[in-house]
Structure 1
Amino acid sequence: MLENHRLNLLSAMTEGNLWPTDSPWVRRAMESVPRDRFAPETVWVWTGERYEAVHRAEAPEAWAAEVHPGPYGSTVTQVTDDMPTSSISCAAVVATMLDSLALEPGHRVLELGTGSGWNAALLAERATQVTSIEIDAELAAHARQRIEAAGPGGRVHVITGDGDGDGGPPGDAVFDRVISTYAVEHVPWAWVKRTRPGGRIVTPWGHTGCVALTVAQDGASATGWVQAPARFMPTRRTERPPLPFERVRGRGRDIGGVPPAFPRPVQELSHPDVLFALRVLLPDVQIDTRTDTGTGTDTQAAAWISDGRSSWAVLEQASTTANAHHGGKRDLVDEVTRAWCVWEERGAPGMYDFGLHITADAHHVFTGDDPHGPGPGWKPLA
């Protein structure tokens, strides 16, 4: 039963051409280090209204299916205050990020966010030494046990601490590669200082993608490009958690009167290029989309928008009409519309056209071949 789910996931990766051709070691690692060895006895599934526990002892088939979902399915392993706070990431994105890391034998790797320990164990299949930092002491303890049981324990050192600042490994240790398993809005400069000149940093970036940066030879900057779409949980140092989209969705139907029209097809909001550009221009705004909502109405697509505080918007597409409801201090419908126009005025670049150049005191988002070129850059809209 469990083995069938393992094989189904690996087969789906093959059928989808999702194994990185430049890094054949990634496939070998995932085949020899399966996800289920790092999953807790209880995982969580979203029912449409809440997260519910799936216990391995009580429902082994359902547990196995949640641990080995499709290539783009993640496994929620921790829920706190009704919100997911840790997961085993989807196999397709993990494979892409490991490929983007350009990892070679002999490399020393710093991982931020141990989580279940699966990613650290995969890294240890290629690297000589992996140092992994986990802010949650309980998660760190369980990860140590699972990594040791899986075999690569001698090559992985799990530290309980906060890797976003100047903390982390003691001393002045410098690494060949740095990889994060959680999303950051700004890449901490401490990560660059921990990476050798010419080394590489791969991280989910808050703008719904992951980015790979190469540290300059003088160590004074790091530059790179977006590698793939990716939505990861944010760093736990985030000052405020986003307002759960599930708690925003019902608000639109509570507003009386005729809702205003939204000037674009709502389903276009789900395109990765659009989502990425909107997050660059509106970094504190989160957008969640669904198509064919199946609610018993004629709604074909819907979007829920939130600034994580008090402002929200609900968009619904029915046939050729797109309606919008919003509330709070900000008119998020207008902000999204303006940002969309700015993106189109600048040529509607795709997410893979975006790059990031960082220094100790600045982040510069750019498109084109030269991060120092004449373009206006992509600053958040006022």
Structure 2
Amino acid sequence: MNGTALDAAMAQRRLWPGRAPWIREAVGDVPRHAFAPERLWRWDGHAYVPVDREAEAGRWAAQVYAGPDDPTVTQVIDGRATSSLSCVAVVVDMLDSLKLKPGQRVLELGTGSGWNAALLARRSGPGLVTGVETDPGLAAQARTRLAAIGLYVTVEVGDGAAGWPAGGPYDRVICTYAVDAVPWAWVEQTRPGGRIVTPWGRLGHVALTVAKDGASATGWVQGLATFMPSRGTSPPPTWQQARGAGPSPEAERFAVRDLGPLRADPHLLFALRVALPDVHLTLDTCGGEGDGDPAVRLHDTGRTSWATLRPSPGGNGTAVVHQSGPRRLADEVLAAWDEWAAEGSPELYDFGMTVTRHDQYVWVRHPATGRRSAPRRGAPLGPTPSRRTSDR
């Protein structure tokens, strides 16, 4: 696939936003490959392996223009992907959510290769985009690439969580890595009425509007995607690590539950993420027991508890449950699932977020009257998109 084929694939799936034609024009005018390093990385099922442009030009190009939902990994450190050209569908979705107008001042956090900053600059104008990148090497490369195509963007080296107050206030703030708590610095550096678009947690991204008094920022979930966490974030423990740290499971029991929605319903998965932010849910096609049944694995961030749910052998809508530790994670997940169903199974687009100086919380359907998640206190100063078009 090349740039033309990628454009056509986006069009076929109706992923180009009709209300913002400038995005498609900018993606066409700013070549993605101009921001890709000579060495890329691909996942071979076990580890990231290098793809060098000089040795494998065709494979290198295929990594750059893999498809609407495929990121291009540009940096790997200690076996972990730490920077990428985000997949085009997600980049486009977030730019659409930003509602950027010509002449507006923009702060971009996590500049990486510089491609997203280039798209922002094409819309906003010269000298109006400030990028912040924590990696000095990546920042230097982004400056070089941006200058090579004649776009003037300021790229600073710093901690994105602190924003960049010297360049503010900003009309728009966009982050390209996942955060669990939206830093208050971003709100402080955004004009009242300004917009902040950021990935949140492990599943989606939100668009927040700063209140007229600057005391809060509120907005709706915009889409579903997975993002890299901020640099320096420790990887979460795996299910195997949690299982190794915990005691033996309680005796096997059965639960009347079809596990299919956990594998197919993104709205349910998002609701569980909101209800249980420290619980990790993974799917295992081998069931983890060697019996070939697809299973759901659960563990908490603190490695204190773990659980598995897998379809019962009879296939009669029941699940076999094993769980271990002080928390009964399977019970918690099933209870949160029941609560979501009792509320009418709200879609991820029915969720929103409010951020204040002291906390943030997620709400359902209405910021004032909808059910709220437990607030996350002390937001620090510094992780296949599914989208419906709206004015949110």
**Which TM-score band applies after superposition, normalised by the shorter structure?**
0.7 to 0.9
- 1:95 matched to 2:92: yes
- Of 263-272 and 317-326, the range deviating more from structure 2: 317-326
Verify the 8 A CA contact 1:285 1:307 in the aligned structure 2.
yes
Q: Give the partner amino acid of 1:160.
A: V
- Of 78-87 and 330-339, the range deviating more from structure 2: 330-339
> 1:235 is paired with a residue of what secondary structure?
coil
Alpha-carbon distance in 2 for matches of 1:248, 1:257: 18
Q: Work out the number of aligned pairs and report it.
A: 365
- 1:189 matched to 2:184: yes
- 1:60 matched to 2:57: yes
Q: Give the partner amino acid of 1:181.
A: T
Alpha-carbon distance in 2 for matches of 1:47, 1:207: 23
Verify the 8 A CA contact 2:220 2:351 in the aligned structure 1.
yes
Deviation sequence 1:68-113 (CA, Å, 0-9, x none): 1121111122222222211111111111100010000001100010
Deviation at 1:329, TM superposition (A): 5.5
Distance 1:91 1:249, change over 3 A: farther
Q: Give the partner amino acid of 2:258.
A: P
Deviation at 1:234, TM superposition (A): 1.4
Distance 1:113 1:298, change over 3 A: same
Distance 1:59 1:258, change over 3 A: farther
Alpha-carbon distance in 2 for matches of 1:57, 1:331: 53
- 1:113 matched to 2:86: no
Partner of 1:379: 374
Verify the 8 A CA contact 1:281 1:380 in the aligned structure 2.
no
Match of 1:228 among 223, 229, 236: 223
Alpha-carbon distance in 2 for matches of 1:314, 1:54: 37
Match of 1:36 among 9, 33, 41: 33
Verify the 8 A CA contact 2:165 2:189 in the aligned structure 1.
no
Q: Which runs of 5+ in 1 are unaligned?
A: none
> 1:125 is paired with a residue of what secondary structure?
helix
**Over the residues paired in the alignment, what is the CA RMSD in angstroms?**
2.8
Deviation at 1:256, TM superposition (A): 10
- Of 336-345 and 83-92, the range deviating more from structure 2: 336-345
- Of 50-59 and 201-210, the range deviating more from structure 2: 50-59
- 1:17 matched to 2:14: yes
Alpha-carbon distance in 2 for matches of 1:13, 1:157: 30
Q: Give the partner amino acid of 1:123.
A: L
Deviation at 1:219, TM superposition (A): 0.9
Deviation at 1:274, TM superposition (A): 1.1
Distance 1:329 1:101, change over 3 A: same
Alpha-carbon distance in 1 for matches of 2:336, 2:111: 35
Alpha-carbon distance in 1 for matches of 2:145, 2:297: 38
Alpha-carbon distance in 2 for matches of 1:314, 1:94: 35
User: So what's the TM-score if we normalise by structure 1?
Assistant: 0.86
User: So what's the TM-score if we normalise by structure 2?
Assistant: 0.84
Deviation sequence 1:141-161 (CA, Å, 0-9, x none): 221122222321x2x111100
Distance 1:305 1:138, change over 3 A: farther
- Percent identical among aligned pairs is 51
Q: Which runs of 5+ in 2 are unaligned?
A: 377-392
Distance 1:21 1:298, change over 3 A: farther
Alpha-carbon distance in 2 for matches of 1:324, 1:7: 49
